[in-house]
Each structure stands twice: as structure tokens, then as C-alpha cells.
């Protein structure tokens, strides 16, 4: 049996921070396999957001670590995310949706004091119309948020909490402690 490989301290602390945060009850996190070719060290989580027992949003958060760093990253750690949710058709067709979706990310990170730099990404809205034998509603809409950013330190607990807030916003969940009027 080969001896365990020692992980860099920065990466180990970052993973501990991601594992230690507890999301709100509607969000289920699971450790999944991380891409192996993007950086020497990687860790990944997947998320599912449930509302009334239905999955309404999903996401993936990947931590990359390269001890020598990357100029584009402006550091040695990088967080990469993909979040998607089905939306009501009217909302998915709103031309302001991409800007709002991006604000969900940046506001969530700021609200949890998840300090970062070199943030970038895309927000995509799609409309699908079904025909023929495909069951389901005739028109559906989706939002997809892809982004990456560099945390300024290796305590990633605030980043995970911010990411969970992004998932909740994308899924249309009310803020914690607030009951939606339709839930009464």
C-alpha cells in the first residue's frame, strides 16, 4: 500500500472550509469527482436545491489549486461554478435577466464577505419550445450561470455560503426566515 500523498497546506485548509459550511436545508451538497487536468489539485461539490420536494436548481463548485499560481487567476486558488435552474417563461424572456443573474452571484459573495478578485463569467438564458412526442409544458425557460473567481485567502467557508446563496436566488427561494406568501 502506497503512503498517503501529503496535500499542500493551502489546499487542505481550503477544502476544510468548503466541507465545514452548512447550507440551508433546501440545499443538498455532495462531494463529487473533480476534473484532473485543470490544476495539480482539485476538489468538487455538486448541489441540488429542492422546493416542495422538487429539484429546482443544480450546481457544481470546483476548487482548483496550483501551488505556483496562474497569472490570470491572480493567485494559487480558483473557484469555478456552474449553476442552472428552470424559470417561468416570462422571467426567462426578460432582457434584464443576465444582469440580475450576475448580481445574484456578486451580491451573494459580498453578503458573506467572501473576498475575491479576478471574477468573470457568463449568464445564459434560454427558451425551449417542445413539439411532437416530447411531454411537458410547451415552452420552458432556463438560466445558466458560469463563473470563476480567486479567493483572497484560503478560508473558503464564506465562499461556500455565498455560492449557496446564489443557488437559493437562482432557485427562487425566499431569504432565510422569510415565508413566501404562496407557502401560507
Residue 82 lies in a domain: yes
Q: What is the pLDDT of residue 42?
A: 96
Weakest mean pLDDT among 26-35, 138-147, 162-171, 172-181? 172-181
Sort 71 into a burial class: Cβ within 10 Å, 0-12 / 13-18 / 19+: exposed
Residue 64 lies in a domain: yes
Identify which of 62, 145, 63 has the alpha carbon closest to the alpha carbon of residue 103: 145
Model confidence at 82: pLDDT above 60: yes
Q: What is the pLDDT of residue 3?
A: 47
Q: What is the pLDDT of residue 60?
A: 98
Model confidence at 156: pLDDT above 90: yes
Residue 164 lies in a domain: yes
Local confidence band at 41 (pLDDT 50, 70, 90 cut-offs)? very high
Q: What distance in Å separates the CA atoms of residue 97 and residue 102, rounded to the nearest whole number?
A: 9
Residue 157 lies in a domain: yes
Domain that holds residue 14: 9-171
Residue 16 lies in a domain: yes
Helix/strand/coil (H, E, C) string of 61-100? Answer: EEEEEEEEEECCCCEEEEEEEEEEEEECHHHHCCCCHHHH
Model confidence at 75: pLDDT above 60: yes
Number of compact structural domains in the chain: 1
Residue 107 lies in a domain: yes
Amino acid at each position: 500500500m502506497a503512503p498517503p500523498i501529503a496535500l499542500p497546506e493551502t489546499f487542505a485548509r481550503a477544502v476544510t472550509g468548503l466541507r465545514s459550511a452548512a447550507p440551508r436545508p433546501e440545499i443538498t451538497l455532495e462531494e463529487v469527482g473533480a476534473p484532473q487536468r485543470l490544476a495539480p489539485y482539485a476538489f468538487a461539490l455538486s448541489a441540488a436545491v429542492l422546493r416542495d420536494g422538487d429539484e429546482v436548481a443544480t450546481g457544481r463548485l470546483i476548487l482548483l489549486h496550483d501551488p505556483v499560481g496562474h497569472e490570470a487567476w491572480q493567485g494559487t486558488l480558483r473557484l469555478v461554478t456552474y449553476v442552472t435552474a428552470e424559470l417561468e417563461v416570462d422571467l426567462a424572456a426578460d432582457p434584464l435577466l443576465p444582469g440580475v443573474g450576475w448580481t445574484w452571484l456578486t451580491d451573494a459573495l459580498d453578503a458573506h464577505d467572501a473576498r475575491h478578485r479576478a471574477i468573470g463569467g457568463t449568464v445564459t438564458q434560454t427558451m425551449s419550445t417542445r413539439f411532437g412526442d416530447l411531454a411537458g409544458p410547451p415552452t420552458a425557460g432556463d438560466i445558466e450561470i458560469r463563473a470563476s473567481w480567486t479567493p483572497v485567502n484560503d478560508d473558503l467557508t464564506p465562499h461556500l455560503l455565498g455560492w449557496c446563496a446564489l443557488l437559493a436566488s437562482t432557485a427562487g427561494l425566499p431569504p432565510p426566515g422569510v415565508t413566501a406568501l404562496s407557502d401560507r
